[in-house]
Amino acid sequence: MSVPETVQGRGFYGERDRLGRPRAPNGPLHAVTLAPFYLLGIGLSHAPGVSAGNRDEVLAFAVVLSSATFAALAAALLFGWLKGRGFPPRAALGAALACALGTPLFAYSGWLFTEPLTTCLLIGAAWAAFGNDRPVSLSDALLAGLLLGACLLARPAHAIAVPIFALAVIVRDGRRGLAAASLLGIGAAVGLAIYLMWNWRLFGNPFDFGYPETADGGKRLNGFATPLWRGVVGFLFSPGKSIFIFAPVILAALFGLPELWRRDRGMAMLAAGGPLLYLLFYAHYTQWEGGNCYGPRYLLPVTALLMPALAAFLETATRSERRLALALTLVGMTVQAIGLATSFLEDQSANGYYAPVLNYRMSYSPLVSQSKLFWHYCAATLRGESVAPGYGFDRWFIFLYRSGVAWPPLAILFGVTAMVFAATGLRLAKRLGNADVK
């Protein structure tokens, strides 16, 4: 879990532990979940058609597959939760697909951030706590708490989700929910205790999470120096971070909140209170924009909690309203595709993502600049110009081919993916058809 490579080249962002090893400022859980994908990458890197010079790229590809896996699992969990709560299968599937494709979860499935994993854990915790219409049992509350504790082991700021989950239990079940809410908090505290012991072991201080005091340019990033109004305006209205631009389908979800409240007050409290709490917390955070990233990264995991409200909207929607929700999903999908089409790091470096001293530039508009960058590389390709790996359209199959991996193993990998997609899609369509007949 140490990161010796990061001290080469750019400035190292993290801290050295008590033994002098460089450590990234991230929770240990993400590294643990990457281990199976790392081992898969070692196996793939020695496959026929992969030379010694390509092994690092293949290993990176396998590790980033974790994000695609967690994003897909998040959508599957969401579908199962909503279907189990009695939503019509088509409404549940529509909400799950909207989350998977119409929000930044789609874009972040192609990069190595913690957000797909934490989205998975938040949905799992919500399903555990509100998986049926009966009062939350103590065992379900404990499981939800443990999943929230795991979530903060990936990123400690997710501790703010614990009180909103506990409040949702109490709002739904009243006094009967006090014991369950308390046990949920105890379960989450297990994750926090593990994290504090981890910090003490590494740095000699349980409250040292490995974040450096300052970053490039000497700016203190890990405080709460941003005026609240600026962060709120940025998250809601700026062209580079607005949640309504990067996940426009939540506009339909907001109209479903009253219906969700009538169905389940606990789920409605999560859907409304979770995003609001995260918005207010991160709007005041010094690095509210999330560093170099695409869209409102910090709001991505909690956006999934709004999807039950979208399912409630779809359940009672007219045909024109369902078409509107579909259109909003497609707009969001297009926004994610723009982010995936080229390197957002290249775009942000060239187009002023930051003003001096890591101050986010509110006028930055990636939908314009990355679209231009994509067409620039398209034109270069049509002219027969070579494009280096990592530039232009650099999704993994193309990136690996450009890096020198032979096409047969890539064709096999792509073929297996396509067959799994077709088989599961047909099975899902059959189940939906059977549900319509019933």
198 is written with which tokens? 């981890």
Quote the pLDDT of residue 29.
95
Q: How far is CA 65 from CA 52, 99, 112, 214, 433, in A?
A: 21, 19, 9, 32, 31
Residue 239 DSSP one-character state: T
Quote the pLDDT of residue 7.
60
300 is written with which tokens? 């991505």
Nearest to 339 by CA among 287, 389, 297: 297
Contact indicator for 125, 148 with CB cutoff of 8 Å: yes
220's CB contacts (< 8 A; 6+ apart) are 213, 214, 286
Quote the pLDDT of residue 403.
80
Quote the pLDDT of residue 231.
97
Percent helix / strand / coil, the chain, rounded to 5 = 70, 0, 25
Quote the pLDDT of residue 161.
97
Query: b or e along 362-376 (b: 16 or more beta carbons within 10 Å of the residue's beta carbon)?
Result: bebebbebbeebbee
Quote the pLDDT of residue 11.
66
Quote the pLDDT of residue 9.
56
Dihedral Cα 421, 424, 430, 433, nearest 10 deg? -70
CA angle 170, 175, 178 (to 5 degrees): 60
Per-residue pLDDT in tens (0 to 9) along the chain, 438 residues: 787 766 665 567 888 899 999 888 888 999 999 999 999 999 988 888 888 888 888 999 999 999 999 999 999 999 999 999 999 999 999 999 999 999 999 999 999 999 999 999 999 999 999 999 999 999 999 999 999 999 999 999 999 999 999 999 999 999 999 999 999 999 999 999 999 999 999 999 999 998 887 776 677 888 899 999 999 999 999 999 999 999 999 999 999 999 999 999 999 999 999 999 999 999 999 999 999 999 999 999 999 999 999 999 999 999 999 999 999 999 999 999 999 999 999 999 999 999 888 899 999 999 999 999 999 998 988 888 887 777 887 788 888 888 888 888 888 888 998 999 999 889 888 888 776 655
Longest pairwise C-alpha distance within the chain: 70
Nearest to 15 by CA among 163, 260, 222: 222
Quote the pLDDT of residue 168.
97
